[in-house]
Structure 1
Amino acid sequence: MAEKTPNAAARDETGDTEIVTDAAPATANANEGVLSPRYRWISIGMCSLILLAAFESLAVTTIMPAVSADLNGQSLYALAFAGPLAVSVVGMVLAGNWSDRRGPRGALLVSVLLFTIGLIIAGTAQTMEVLVAGRLLHGFGGGGITVSLYVIVARVYPALLQPRIFAGFAAAWVVPSLIGPFLAGVVAEAFSWHWVFLGVVVLVVPALAMVLPAVRGLGQKPSPDAAPWSISRIAWSALAAIAVLALNLSADADGVFRWILPVASVAVLALAVRPLLPVGTLRAASGLPGVVLFRGLIAGAFFGAEIYIPYLLTDQYGLTPVYAGLGLTLGGVAWGLASQVQGRYAATLSHQACIRIGLALLGVGLVAAIVTTVFALPALVLILGWGVGGAGMGIMYPRTSVMALQSASPAEQGFTSSAISISDGIGSALSIALTAIVFVALTPFGGAWPFVGCFALAAAIGLLAAVTSGRASVAPHAA
């Protein structure tokens, strides 16, 4: 493992931006925050990238029912969500390996480029197949962006400020949550859903420009202790992505293949992800493996249910995309606000307390979704309940990121960042694929039963997260 060295900071030629060239400082000055002169522009730039990704995510979830109807692509509805998450795993592995060897700057640049090209393809698509292809490409880039930013946090910010910048990431979801779903609905109805994708493209470059100067000297040469390029990990990540894509397509399989394909896909996925995650993750070993598994389970529970919130509101309640997005709005706002709470009380609110509170709130949101759908309660019950669930995620998500990074040495930050991001992507993609199978299986029963089945499956995943939550803890790494 790489030896811990004190932070070396050099002032940029402009005289305004400090460039971190090694590990993050162990502590922050008493009056320093994430917006202090040392961290101001990199904090704003990274949060801007998260904000744009948040807007794209919430906007696409809002308009996808209308997009699939316009392009006659209802059969690819779930794949349009699960596909990008699946291929993002490959981007995560590449970005993590790249970051450990040469620093996160190059990985971030390439990832943003692919993300942007994917948005352009999706925004100009005339068929559902082309739109899914664009989604796959920007999902690949999005996975790399996530890991690159996590490594930057680990190498630039001291431990005390890490919960605050992760809270800043969550806060970057607040504005898109407030106006993103509504704005996406307005744009789709007044102009075209194509502009929901294309509008994000012009804002990516300024956000990236704020980040790059501050990481100009961050590990440009390979460290002698850095892990070599791992072709096997890249191959395993590609196999995992293929397994998730096959699982999504199994919902439309006929005959015996309708059952053989899902079982085979899950088996291959379990085999493929093992080398990508810390040893012991799939058996919920204590420490970092438990954190990584827990992260994937709560992601699967929340996002597996969330994509069906606007679908339910448009299909069963007859709401337009503008109003159907309200379910996502409240959930996103509550997520951001709850993240600020855990960040403000980082020193007094323990990791385990955040996990317990978050699980309880997420459970309320999932139960509200089930009860509202079964008994045809007013849509407001579902929307408010999902806000409570979003608050639960806002408390848990930043803390699991901190727990994972605190368990890693500097030489393992790229691997650890990619591991928690892979767990996010695989957990969500697997849940979405399974809910798609449930949705198709229950469609013949008519009414709201397909939605009930999807929410119930998400709740079962959340229950599994609660059962294994005690295994998630910070494991001190070797010096």
Structure 2
Amino acid sequence: MTVPKTLDAPYQPPRIFGPEYRTATLGILLVVTLIAFEGMSVGTVMPAVSKDLDALDLYGLSFSAFLIAGLLANVVAGLWSDRRGHAVPFVLGVGLFAAGMAMAGAAGSKELFIVARAVQGLGGGAVIVAIYVMIARVYVPETRPRVFAAVSSAWVLPALVGPGLSGLIAETVGWRWVFYGIVPLVVPALVMLLPALRGGEGPLPEPAPGPRSRPLAMTLAAAATATGAGTLLYGVDLLHGSPVPGGVAVAAGLLVLVLGLPRLLPPRALRFGRGLPTTVMMRGVLSSAFFGVNAFIPLFLTEVRGFSVGAAGVALTIGALGWTTGSYLQTRWTGDRPLLVRIGAAAVTAGILLTLLAIVPGVTGWITVPAWVVAGFGMGVGTTSVNVTAMRQSPDAEQGANSAALQVVDTLGSALTIGIGGALVNLIGHDDIATGYVTIAVLMAAIGVLGTAAAGRMREVS
């Protein structure tokens, strides 16, 4: 006999691994784990790839190509998700991601490797936006912080296993097998994912009015933004050896970027307008500061402090664990989300500055491990709170567009800071990686300070 609930019984939101959400949750987490293995493994072996392909001059671009291609996929996937549902961009994204991994493993030159990274980015960009839309449409608002925390937790196993295993593989059978080894993970991911997608699509909301609902205009704006960012980074790389062509490319890239980017974001976003505009921009600020340093920690530790590839990856491992811890703790927060984002930005800034102690004579390079725990904790607290707040502030018909906007500023910010960091390494000189790293870290810490100051503007005007 079923006992009826009383009217005053407290509401208990469904569990994310309960019968209602289990299939969707497992499908999301399996794909995120696949992407996480790529992120943790490729970041660790990039110094080995650079040496083998003679590509140290393209070290930053190898990361930026992934991110810039993902930017275009973010917008297209967001538009498709708003109008047709998130299933198709999800499945196509996984396929492109796997194809890019296979291409990277087979690359015989640095140019082909960059192309392969771009294909990976197209797939990864589509998948992440589809995940955000799926979370917004499948889960009730009370469970979304737990889902985003679970997504961050999907990085734990790759963080523990990825850097050490990929370093071992690179040092024994070669870095190419790090890429080849991730490809088979697509099969079980898709097997789990397809039932979740078939059951997860509900009635679609009416398309939202306004310029961000126009597919052709948005696609052209995304192409302009990606082209502008790529041209800008290419010009920055040229400045050292060819200052005039480099300057022209930088100016042209900035012009195209300024024409395209505002159309992809909520109105007043670039001015950090109160509410959703600042919420979206904070995702880019956090990612710019964190990943602008994260990409160069393995290079610094291997080239300056003499670490092996596997040992250098430990800092990235521990940082991911800090990220997961912060993401979990935010689920228990019932107070002001903008305050939590401010705490996260401050922690990212502190972690970046702490890594600079590794430059000091007599201080071990292992100081980067606790430093990156602090920075990772800040990202877990901050980015998850940004995601939750953005979905709460988004009308149903704009969830895809705003999910895409979050990813656009994330990928664009990371691509620009990593690309500029790579250019700084080239400008200062490959024989002085330490000075290049210090310069990068100071610049990224300044971005973190900006985020700490701006987080309060996430609050909507009463």
Coarse TM-score class (shorter-chain normalised): over 0.9
Contact 1:244/1:433 (8 A) holds in 2:
no
Q: How does 1:49-198 map to 2 (within 5 A)?
A: 49-198=31-180
Q: How does 1:31-42 map to 2 (within 5 A)?
A: 32-42=14-24
**C-alpha root-mean-square deviation of aligned residues, in Å?**
2.0
How far apart are the structure 2 equivalents of 1:397 and 1:474?
18
SS at match of 2:20: coil
Q: How does 1:227-238 map to 2 (within 5 A)?
A: 230-238=215-223
Q: Could you report, residue by residue, the CA deviation over 1:286-328 in whole angstroms, capped at 9, with x for unpaired residues? A: 0110011111011000001100000000000111111010110
How far apart are the structure 1 equivalents of 2:460 and 2:23?
30
Return the letter of the residue paired with 1:431: T
Residues 405 and 31 (structure 1 numbering): CA distance in 2 closer, same or farther, change over 3 Å? closer
- Which segments of 5 or more consecutive residues in structure 1 lack a partner in the other structure? 1-27
Asked whether 1:295 is paired with 2:283, we answer: yes
Residues 444 and 96 (structure 1 numbering): CA distance in 2 closer, same or farther, change over 3 Å? closer
TM-score normalised by the chain length of structure 2 = 0.92
Offset of residue 422 of structure 1: 0.7
Offset of residue 124 of structure 1: 1.3
How far apart are the structure 1 equivalents of 2:119 and 2:372?
30
Contact 1:326/1:383 (8 A) holds in 2:
yes
**1:419 matched residue in structure 2:** 405
How far apart are the structure 1 equivalents of 2:62 and 2:33?
21
**2:425 matched residue in structure 1:** 439
How far apart are the structure 2 equivalents of 1:426 and 1:53?
18
SS at match of 1:282: helix
**1:335 matched residue in structure 2:** 323
Asked whether 1:244 is paired with 2:229, we answer: yes
Return the letter of the residue paired with 2:454: T
Structure 1 outlier segments of 4+, above 6 Å: none
Moved more, 458-467 or 274-283: 458-467
**2:368 matched residue in structure 1:** 382
Moved more, 283-292 or 125-134: 125-134
Offset of residue 335 of structure 1: 0.4
Moved more, 432-441 or 84-93: 432-441
Return the letter of the residue paired with 2:452: A
Offset of residue 217 of structure 1: 5.1
Q: Could you report, residue by residue, the CA deviation over 1:224-282 in whole angstroms, capped at 9, with x for unpaired residues? A: 54676511211111121122222222213403233343344234323211000101110
Give the number of aligned pairs.
Answer: 447
Asked whether 1:208 is paired with 2:190, we answer: yes
Offset of residue 474 of structure 1: 5.3
How far apart are the structure 2 equivalents of 1:271 and 1:375?
47
Moved more, 238-247 or 148-157: 238-247
How far apart are the structure 1 equivalents of 2:442 and 2:386?
25
How far apart are the structure 2 equivalents of 1:447 and 1:115?
31
Offset of residue 37 of structure 1: 1.1
Residues 335 and 242 (structure 1 numbering): CA distance in 2 closer, same or farther, change over 3 Å? same
**2:5 matched residue in structure 1:** none
Contact 2:24/2:200 (8 A) holds in 1:
no
Contact 2:339/2:455 (8 A) holds in 1:
no
**1:366 matched residue in structure 2:** 352
Q: Could you report, residue by residue, the CA deviation over 1:458-477 in whole angstroms, capped at 9, with x for unpaired residues? A: 1121122122222123579x
How far apart are the structure 1 equivalents of 2:380 and 2:194?
28
Q: Percent identity between the aligned chains?
A: 35
**1:318 matched residue in structure 2:** 306
Offset of residue 210 of structure 1: 2.0
TM-score normalised by the chain length of structure 1 = 0.89
Offset of residue 112 of structure 1: 1.2
Offset of residue 444 of structure 1: 7.5
Asked whether 1:459 is paired with 2:445, we answer: yes
**2:273 matched residue in structure 1:** 285
